[in-house]
Amino acid sequence: MEIKSSENASFQRVYKEVFPVLMRVAYHVTYNLDVSEDIVQESFIRFYEKNIDFVSVDEAKYWLIRVTKNLAINVVKRKSREKAMVDKIKKVPKTPVQNGEDALMNTETREMVRSAVEKLPEKLKSVLILKEYADLNYKQIGVILHISESNVKVRVHRARKMMETMLDRGEMHVS
């Protein structure tokens, strides 16, 4: 199924299928819902305006994920240069408490995971986010990041290792 990014039917199809993934990628890089919305919107605007032909929905998806990931990383880099803005990012999106009795534990876990993900070096962070939040396999992640499948495997392993260490420390601090 060929995809023309400026064609309405193609666009709608890709949008419906890829939006949740893009939103998760943008969110887990920036951890700010508003900023993520802007980033994903910008990605779709570029997708539409560039008028690119893709051989399949998946190809379009990989392109969009790559663009979204790069935009999000750039936002984080820019924000970290502006100290004040960093504080704003961190304060704004304290994810609202969810319903249910384990709500408090849930937010605690979320906060812990979030601060651990934020501390990962960029290379490992991208791979981990694409693996855990975008539900992609090693091969797909390799295509998106222009790295080999075995390289993805190694990075997933290293990222999880770092995460484990940080989360363990986090749990110790909490309890």
Partner 1 sequence: MCLDDQILNTYLDGELVEPWKTQVEEHLKYCTACSSRFRQLQAVHEMVCSSRLSDEKIDAAQEKILAFMENKYLHKEKKVKFLHRDFTMKTPTIIGIAAAFVLIFIGAFTIQSPSLNDSNVLIPQVVDTQSGNVTQVSSIDSLTTDQILSNLSLEEILSYLDSKGFEVDLKVKSVNPIGESTD
Q: Which residues bind partner 1 (CB under 8 A)?
A: 6, 8, 11-12, 15, 19-20, 23-24, 27-28, 33, 36-37, 40-41, 44-45, 48-49, 98, 106, 109-110, 113-114, 117, 128, 131-133, 137-138, 153-154, 156-157, 160-161, 163-164, 167
CB 13 within 8 A of CB 118: no
Rounded least distance, CB 16 to partner 1, Å:
8
The identity of residue 138, as a single letter, is Y
CB 10 within 8 A of CB 3: yes
Burial of 11 (0-12, 13-18, 19+ CB in 10 A): middle
Rounded least distance, CB 81 to partner 1, Å:
25
Rounded least distance, CB 56 to partner 1, Å:
21
Given the complex with partner 1, which of 76 and 128 has the nearer CB atom? 128
Rounded least distance, CB 130 to partner 1, Å:
12
Alpha carbon distance 161, 155 (integer Å): 10
Given the complex with partner 1, which of 44 and 54 has the nearer CB atom? 44
Given the complex with partner 1, which of 81 and 99 has the nearer CB atom? 99
For the chain, report the end-to-end CA distance as a whole number of angstroms. 53
Residue carrying structure tokens 């906060």: 111
